[in-house]
């Protein structure tokens, strides 16, 4: 299982929100590139970056910060947050990002998603944010009528290779992850599934790895010290041997 330590950006700073609530923000670092370098030093290969301002309003307000992270960390960086046009996709790919994550656009504009998957293939992932079994959009501020399982099956048919699945009810609470949700998703959908939201302990990492999931995102637990990244990397490597 691949590990994706996470950096969420607002105003060029690494922050964390609780359950996607912009009013519940903690700033962890004013130098996200240094945070990324520390993840690389701990053995990470990938980095998951979300532009939280972009998620809410569209655009690429933290582009320069992301460019610096890509250049200085040496990590494979995937980026999400408000990516709703091909222009923004190209901007991020030109900045050295290896994969972009579509969220709201994938729900609201399936034709756009299909075209981008046809053009860019595996460089397009989809973030499926789940609230009470349904897909949330616009930085989690709205919930669509779409069931998460039906939506993931639809993505598979379109040709999406990677789905990043977040259980909003678990995000940022350090209360453990929704193992049952990921078990069901991995059984129903034959795509690469990345678990996100509430991965709190090394035991969570171990259980997700045992499910043979493609990946897991580590967020707040890294910043609070609940999970030691180097130990998590070692654990997943052992599971692959």
158, burial (CB in 10 Å: exposed 0-12, middle 13-18, buried 19+): middle
42 DSSP assignment: T
Active site residue 94: no
Alpha helices per DSSP H over 11-97? 32-41, 52-57, 63-73, 86-94
- Treating both helix axes as pointing N-terminal to C-terminal, what angle do 110-120 and 86-94 enclose, rounded to 10 degrees? 30
Q: In this structure, what DSSP letter does residue 132 have?
A: T
Q: Token digits for 171?
A: 């995000």
Catalytic residue (choose from 8, 51, 167, 171): 8
- Is 192 known to be catalytic? no
Residue 138 φ then ψ, to 5°: 55, 60
| Cβ–Cβ < 8 Å for 3, 216 | yes
Cα–Cα distances in angstroms (integers) from residue 26 to residues 21, 23, 207, 232, in the given order: 11, 9, 28, 24
Catalytic residue among 51, 129, 167, 204: 129
Catalytic residues: 8, 129
């Amino acid at each position: 299982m691949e590990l994706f330590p996470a950096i969420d950006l607002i105003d060029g700073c690494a922050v964390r929100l609780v359950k996607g609530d912009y009013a519940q923000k903690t700033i962890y670092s004013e130098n996200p590139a240094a945070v990324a370098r520390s993840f690389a030093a701990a053995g990470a290969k990938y980095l998951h970056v979300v532009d939280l301002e972009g998620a809410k309003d569209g655009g690429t307000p933290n582009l320069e910060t992301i460019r610096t992270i890509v250049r200085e960390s040496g990590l494979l960086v995937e980026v999400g947050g408000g990516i709703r046009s091909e222009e923004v996709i190209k901007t991020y790919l030109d900045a050295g990002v290896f994969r972009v994550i579509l969220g709201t656009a994938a729900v609201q504009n399936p034709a756009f998603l299909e075209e981008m998957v046809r053009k860019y293939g595996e460089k397009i992932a989809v973030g499926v944010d789940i609230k009470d079994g349904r897909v949330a959009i616009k930085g989690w501020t709205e919930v669509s009528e779409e069931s998460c399982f039906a939506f993931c099956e639809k993505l598979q048919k379109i040709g999406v290779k990677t789905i990043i699945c977040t259980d909003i009810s678990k995000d940022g609470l350090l209360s453990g992850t929704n193992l049952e949700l990921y078990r069901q998703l991995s059984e129903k959908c034959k795509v690469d599934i990345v678990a996100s939201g509430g991965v709190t302990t090394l035991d969570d990492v171990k259980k997700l790895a045992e499910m043979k999931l493609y990946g897991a995102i580590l967020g707040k637990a890294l910043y609070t010290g609940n999970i030691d990244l180097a130990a998590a990397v070692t654990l997943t490597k052992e599971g692959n041997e």
